[in-house]
Amino acid sequence: MKRKVAIQGAVGSFHDIAAHQFFPNDEIELVCCATFEEVFSALKNDSKTIALCAIENTIAGSLLHNYELLRESAMQVIGEFKLRISHCICCLPDEDWEDLTEVNSHPIALMQCREFLNRHPQLKVVEAEDTALSAELIHKNNLKGHAAICSQHAAQLNGMKVLESGIETNKHNFTRFLVIADPWQADDLQRQLQAVPNKASLVFSLPHAEGSLSQVLSILSFYHINLTKIQSLPIIGREWEYQFYVDVVFDNLLRYKQSITAITPLTKELKILGEYAESGK
């Protein structure tokens, strides 16, 4: 099956790798976007397009802006994928360590390789919009003295020499991606994926009153709903009020539905962002 998938980044990026691993048997037509805003625009412009969007990393934490983009988009989460992130440093094929003066990559990738970079103080660290694009631009423009931090896949795609791999500080480095689609396409896509929902992403706000959050959490606990993540973001223009983004896992769909019914009167603007199968990784 052919699928059009919008990602932030270039061919060879970790979004690209995650998309192909999530749809291992499908022919993927990538829609490469410079920003996450462009990713959601691609979804709005073509209801058949699916998006893969990073939402959190075990080292860098949550991508807070992406939560807001998801909520405002009215799109639906149909799945998730967790990818082990491993970085390498690469350069032009005819260069080596002694030729390098500068290293380029996405700021999060640079942060994840901080200890490695500290061991190479001679390299000027320059932020770029994407890991794979850094390698592509060095190769395309024959940028002497430049290195890129990216995936080994991106280095190979661009004919770069890998100087060292596994340079990330923490080897337990995973990124969680959400698979997002137009709500009108969501049910059909989940049937194609043969996915049995056991996880949900919710967003709601609460009255500025004592114990309002604890009441919601107590109800979820009563119904044996496992809370796997809670993230708060301030509501702009409403002092001391917050949006709560919550992920829950359940093994009984009826009990989950009952818990949603029970917490709805206690919340404001409750929205189910998606019900989907938890990633097995």
Catalytic residues: 175, 177
CA distance 93 to 156: 11
Q: Tokens standing for 99?
A: 């030729």
- Torsions phi, psi for 65 (to 5 deg): -65, -30
Contact, 206 vs 266, CB < 8 A? yes
Contact, 93 vs 160, CB < 8 A? yes
Cβ burial, residue 40 (10 Å; 0-12/13-18/19+)? buried
Contact, 245 vs 67, CB < 8 A? yes
Contact, 152 vs 12, CB < 8 A? no
